[in-house]
Amino acid sequence: MLSRSDIEKKCKIIIRQVIGNGDLDIQNGHSLINDLGLDSVDFVSLLLALEDEFGGTIDDEASSQIITVNDMINHIELELKVAEME
């Protein structure tokens, strides 16, 4: 399974791809909307890109809990653990 550090790196690459800014400084505590400036279309695009990268689906309930970069990493890490156990 991917390490947390690898998940973090991949998540940040995906955020930069969605926003179109390869140099964006991203901190784990950053809010995706308030700090990094994602709009609603960007946010949905981000969910699609995360599913494409890591597999699985992020349903509405789960996505509503993703506020910060850290929330996103936590969610992916948990999903990968569950998938591995299955």
Partner 1 sequence: MRRRVVVTGMGMICPLGTSTHEIWQNSLAGNTFVSTIPEEWHHYSDMKSNIWAPLPEIDFVMKGVPRVDLLRNDKVALLAFLAAKEALQDAGYQISPTEIDKNIFHISDLEQSRTGIYMGTAVGGVSTLIHNHSHHLLAKTKNEIKQLDKTSSVNNKVMDRLRQTPVPNRFNPFVIPMLMPNAVSAYMGIKLGITGPNTTTALACASGTAAIGQAYEAVATGVVDFALCGGSEYLHDDGSSFRGFDVAGTLVRSSLEPEYANRPFDVNRNGFLFSEGGAAVLMLEDYESAIARKANVYAELIGYAETFDAHSMMQPAENSVQCKKMINRLSEQANVSIAEIDYINTHGTGTKLNDQVEANLIENMFPHGPWVTATKSLMGHSIGASGAIEAAITALSIHNQTTHTCRNLETPIADLNFVRKKGTHQMEIGLTQSFAFGGHNTALLMKRL
Give me the active site residues, please.
Answer: 39
Tokens of 34: 């308030």
Task: Give the one residue of 17, 31, 70, 74 binding partner 1; rule: CB under 8 A.
Answer: 17
Q: How far is the CB of 7 from partner 1 (least distance, A)?
A: 17
CB of 22 to partner 1, least distance (A): 6
Q: What are phi and psi of 33, to 5 degrees?
A: -90, -50
Selected from 52, 61, 64, 85, the binder of partner 1 by CB under 8 A is 52
Is residue 63 at the binding interface for partner 1, with CB under 8 A as the rule? no
Angstrom CA distances, 2 to 7, 29, 39, 80, stand at 6, 21, 28, 8
Sign of CA dihedral 12, 15, 16, 17: positive
d(CA 65, CA 53): 20
Residue from the set 10, 28, 31, 45 that interacts with partner 1 by CB under 8 A: 45
Q: Which residues bind partner 1 (CB under 8 A)?
A: 14, 17-22, 44-45, 48-49, 51-52, 55-57
